[in-house]
Structure 1
Amino acid sequence: METDKVFAEQYSKPSDFKFSSKVAGVFDDMVNRSVPYYEEMQRMAAELAADHATEGSYVYDLGCSTGTTLINMDQKVPATIPFIGIDDSKDMLDKCRAKLNALEIKRKVDLITADLNKDITIENASVVVLCLTLQFVRPMNRERLLKKIFDGVNRDGSLILIEKILAEDSRFNRDFIKYYYDMKRRHNYSELEISQKREALENVLIPYKLSENITLLRDAGFEHCEIFFKWYNFVGIIAKKNA
């Protein structure tokens, strides 16, 4: 695993964050050091996927990046159920494909290059995963994407959503952000790296409140929503379609 040094060099003004080949090369280290309890969230998502995936359907990972979620689900979900990974970054999908090949995964896994801000095809899905992905979809497109997912999920199917969020009461946002940056410092990110990445993500990663995400899910048609993970400004939600 290559060490994340993307923002270690001083920039006059960091450009907007992109999932480039440079990021793809260090993404696994970046996300493990930047997301609290990332391995635990991955384990939980894989367990949930295993319990809700059904034979004769597909499991989708939208924004699959380098394939960590696909790999974790492969260890839990029956091998007869095919996976579909979708990402708009060819560099991330190349890294994903290399990891799947290195692990000699036998399951049928289709990797598709597509932009979630535009029209995508989702059909015959028993599980759809959005792991730290919806926050990168433009706000004006999120409602349409979730409706597309709902329409493509089979009866009794599930959506697993993991997101960075804002506090319900804005007075707590500053505290939660402080605790989050303290976690990054514990994971050996410098003040320069923290500040430059924050600036690069400012117009790219746009979090919603937990209540706003649940409203989006319910408006899309998901009748049942439950929180399965919460750490300050990160949350995991499972949403189900009626049987």
Structure 2
Amino acid sequence: MTERNIGRDDVFKDHQEAVPDFTFNDRVAGVFDDMVSRSVPFYGEMQRMVAELAGRYAQPDTHVYDLGCSTGTTLLMMDKTVPDTARFFGVDESAEMINRCREKLDGFNLRRPVELSVADLTCNVPVDRASVVTMVLVLQFIRPMNRLEIVSRIQEGMVKGGVFLLVEKVLTEERSFNREFIDFYYGFKRKNKYSELEISQKREALENVLIPYRTSENAAMLRNAGFGEVEVFFRWYNFTGLIARKL
């Protein structure tokens, strides 16, 4: 997949006296692809694995949802692996992200149309007859008190044998390792040419917005929501991918 018109992430390049909470506004949407590729370790491989798993478990004549679809990378990747008869839906609460997603998808020759919509998942989880649902680095931005209900509604809207693919930034199981893993993560950002100012200001912007769970807490939530089988499919220090199947 060739990305087009990617802006360089400079959102936190300049010093800010008061760093506002992170939001997926128009400025972030314009540089999002560069931001995640430089901020999320193995992002490309993570997306490839999600698409590969989606291709294995997607069922003909069912629905495939990417909740928190951002600029549409996951949808583009899954379009190559999922049966043509499966319908695609992309949902995001940011209208700016949906606009960018439509612009990006229009630049590719997709095998099927994609229905995009703006929705707040805490109020509306539009999942129906789904064999695959993905949330890639999304649930971590939703208030913890709402997460189980959202995941339960996803499970209820899925067909038997369907899978939920959840990728999240996580805390370590043993607290003593958390600081070290975060240090390795910031080292990854430095290698991708983020300055100390950019790293510190983004950390401050995300402090009250991105609230991670432990991998075990996410797995327990998936089981409590009704999924019968849960397994880790990806792990890099403080990032984890989980697959949950409805039996």
| Partner residue in 2 for 1:71 | 76
| Partner residue in 1 for 2:201 | 196
- 1:75 shift after superposition: 1.3
Q: How far does the alpha carbon of each residue in 1:172-228 deviate from its partner, in whole angstroms, 9 at most, with x for none?
A: 100000000000000000000000000000011000000100010000011101111
- 1:139 shift after superposition: 0.4
| Partner residue in 2 for 1:83 | 88
Of 16, 26, 32 in structure 1, the residue corresponding to residue 37 of structure 2 is: 32
Q: Any gaps of 5 or more consecutive residues in structure 1? A: none
Is residue 110 of structure 1 aligned with residue 115 of structure 2? yes
| Partner residue in 2 for 1:119 | 124
Mapped to 2, the partners of 1:108 and 1:99 lie a distance apart of 13
Query: What are the equivalent positions in structure 2 for 1:30-69 lying under 5 Å apart?
Result: 30-69=35-74
Q: How far does the alpha carbon of each residue in 1:152-176 deviate from its partner, in whole angstroms, 9 at most, with x for none?
A: 0101110000000000011110000
Mapped to 2, the partners of 1:12 and 1:204 lie a distance apart of 19
Is residue 3 of structure 1 aligned with residue 8 of structure 2? yes
Of 160, 168, 174 in structure 1, the residue corresponding to residue 165 of structure 2 is: 160
Q: Any gaps of 5 or more consecutive residues in structure 2? A: 1-5
Aligned length: 242
Mapped to 2, the partners of 1:60 and 1:140 lie a distance apart of 23
Is residue 187 of structure 1 aligned with residue 186 of structure 2? no
What amino acid sits opposite 2:47 in the alignment? Q
Of 197, 219, 230 in structure 2, the residue corresponding to residue 225 of structure 1 is: 230
The root-mean-square deviation of aligned C-alpha atoms, in Å, is: 0.7
TM-score by length of 2: 0.97
What amino acid sits opposite 2:83 in the alignment? P
Mapped to 1, the partners of 2:29 and 2:157 lie a distance apart of 29
What amino acid sits opposite 1:29 in the alignment? D
Mapped to 1, the partners of 2:111 and 2:239 lie a distance apart of 33
Is residue 13 of structure 1 aligned with residue 18 of structure 2? yes
- 1:78 shift after superposition: 1.9
Query: What are the equivalent positions in structure 2 for 1:115-154 lying under 5 Å apart?
Result: 115-154=120-159
Post-superposition, which runs of at least 4 consecutive aligned residues in structure 1 deviate over 2 A?
none
| Partner residue in 1 for 2:98 | 93
Q: Percent identity?
A: 54
TM-score by length of 1: 0.98
What amino acid sits opposite 1:89 in the alignment? S
Mapped to 2, the partners of 1:106 and 1:237 lie a distance apart of 27
| Aligned partners of 2:125 and 2:154 also within 8 Å | no
Mapped to 2, the partners of 1:67 and 1:213 lie a distance apart of 24
Stretch of structure 1 that moved more, 75-84 or 178-187: 75-84
**SS state of the match for residue 102, structure 1?**
coil
| Partner residue in 1 for 2:3 | none
What amino acid sits opposite 2:28 in the alignment? V
| Aligned partners of 2:169 and 2:239 also within 8 Å | yes
**SS state of the match for residue 197, structure 2?**
helix
Is residue 235 of structure 1 aligned with residue 237 of structure 2? no
What amino acid sits opposite 1:58 in the alignment? H
| Partner residue in 2 for 1:211 | 216
